[in-house]
Structure 1
């Protein structure tokens, strides 16, 4: 009940912040209270006035995700306010924002640059948009690649360097595709994913096989090996984390799996430091 009361307060406050002119309505006669009227919000959001009134009053009515999206736009909610509305109304996060955020925020880049392990950032279609210097040293230099060649899913599925061990490659493909399916189910831009899917159907036999299966992974975590000339093989365990300030972005971290790998990574860090010095 307390959350319903908070939802009611939140909607009233959001409505009160908007003047008729803000949403293209004439000012009309003098108003006793500031902000939009309930019937104006309902009309602009394409909702029944009675339904919106009950919702704002905190009654047990349920609005669909599309209705909440229209209400968010009508009330000019910020991304954080939109997420707050969904959390109170549906007890779950909203769908990913339709506007892709491909800006690496200064705090994210500073975090990656301060780490002594490889780290990179991908957007929801798995395109790499940010990385630190150890990624360039251990894996590949994304700065030398145009954006349309930086899709990590395509790279991992199609690059011959990952096929040295056929069994490990097959297992990696199975897990990658299970995670890619999960991301496809949640994307706000299915056309981007469908372009990748069409390409992979033509280019990868493993994709054609595993895409037909039902396995789904909501979180991808695995190990991989980087063979570094002059250093040797480094075994990494990687995992990913959502970046709160940038919906749709994920931070991938690669940590050494054992003591030998940690020692070799430290050597790699020292070499990178020497180059930058």
Structure 2
């Protein structure tokens, strides 16, 4: 079942309220009927009515203004990523169309990727693998032999034992991919193909199902990764992600030269 931006915003607010420590906010501890902060406590801190907060959490209220989002973020002591994502959900220009199709990579970008000597690939909005080079095949697997419907970094990480084995720190890598994808999903949860991907991952991966419930938002466009190279053994690489000027849904992921870990 598809959902809406309103529902994703409400779920994020509710999840953060329920996981907050009342004592850290200056409220009495002890046993509570439900975990976290009460709605009355959050509403008072944010300067809004309890009824409106209820409707926001249930996805039944119009999207809040920036000042209200800022007040809620302050009331819940949200981190920078959560605050930014709430603003993204509340102030998005419009709800994307329900239709979606796999993106097409411009020929000049595809040629650039294939000419690179280090691993590189292009991802679409759903984290589908659209174009890759020989170095990426050498490091990960030959994606041309993978059915088109399976060429997705989330499916590969959570469902493919072959790809999973490439990551000594698999949990860190998988959670990072999930928490980054959550940003795009929340804006397009009403699109059937996005919801179908999440539904499948929940069915086929216990880890994905558990981490998805946490509604964590943690983009990581660059950093370092450790992997198991088929010839070099354990290697460490830097990586960076760039948004395409041709299509903002396209992301170019570039890796540095693999350095053996001794």
Q: TM-score, normalised by structure 2?
A: 0.55
Give 5+ residue unaligned stretches, structure 1.
Answer: 1-63, 65-90, 262-277
Q: Which has the higher helix share?
A: 1
CA distance in 2, matches of 1:166, 1:117: 18
CA drift of 1:109 comes to 1.8
**Does residue 124 of structure 2 align to residue 123 of structure 1?**
yes
Take 1:164 and 1:99, find their aligned partners in 2: how far apart are those partners?
A: 32
Residue aligned with 1:256, SS: coil
- Where 2:256 maps in the other structure, the secondary structure is strand
- The offset of 1:100, in angstroms, is 4.4
The Cα of 1:115 is off from its aligned counterpart by: 1.8
Whether the 8 Å CA contact 2:156–2:163 is kept in 1: the answer is no
Task: Please report how far the alpha carbon of residue 202 of structure 1 lies from its aligned counterpart in structure 2 after TM superposition.
Answer: 1.3
Alpha-carbon offset, residue 218 of structure 1: 3.2
CA contact (8 A) 1:128 1:151 kept: yes
Match of 2:133 in 1: 132
Change (3 A) 1:140 1:189: farther
> Structure 2: any 5+ residue segments left out of the alignment?
1-62, 64-90
Q: Who is 1:71 aligned against?
A: none
- The 2-side partners of 1:240 and 1:148 are apart by 23
Whole-angstrom CA distance in 2 between matches of 1:221 and 1:202: 30
Alignment correspondent of 1:200: 201
| Structure 2 match to 1:149 | 150
Mean alpha-carbon deviation: is it higher for 115-124 or for 186-195? 186-195
Q: Aligned partners of 2:157 and 2:104: how far apart in 1?
A: 24
Q: Which runs of 4+ in 1 moved over 6 A?
A: 91-97
Deviation at 1:183, TM superposition (A): 1.5
Q: Is the 8 A contact 1:96 1:188 kept in 2?
A: no
Query: How many Å apart are 1:96 and its aligned residue?
Result: 6.3
RMSD: 3.1
Deviations 1:211-250 (A, max 9, x none): 1113202344451313223x43332222321111123111
**Residue by residue, what CA displacement relative to the aligned partner does 1:15-74 show, whole Å, maximum 9, x if unpaired?**
xxxxxxxxxxxxxxxxxxxxxxxxxxxxxxxxxxxxxxxxxxxxxxxxx9xxxxxxxxxx
Higher relative contact order (CA 8 A, sep 6+): 2
Q: Give the TM-score, by structure 1 length.
A: 0.53
Matched residues in 1 for 2:93 and 2:105: separation? Answer: 22
Deviations 1:144-194 (A, max 9, x none): 222112111110112224555998222223222211211102338621111
Shift of 1:114: 2.8
Farther off after superposition, 166-175 or 208-217: 166-175
Higher gyration radius (CA): 1
Question: Where in structure 2 are the equivalents of 1:56-205 lying within 5 Å?
Answer: 100=101, 102-161=103-162, 163=164, 168-187=169-188, 190-205=191-206
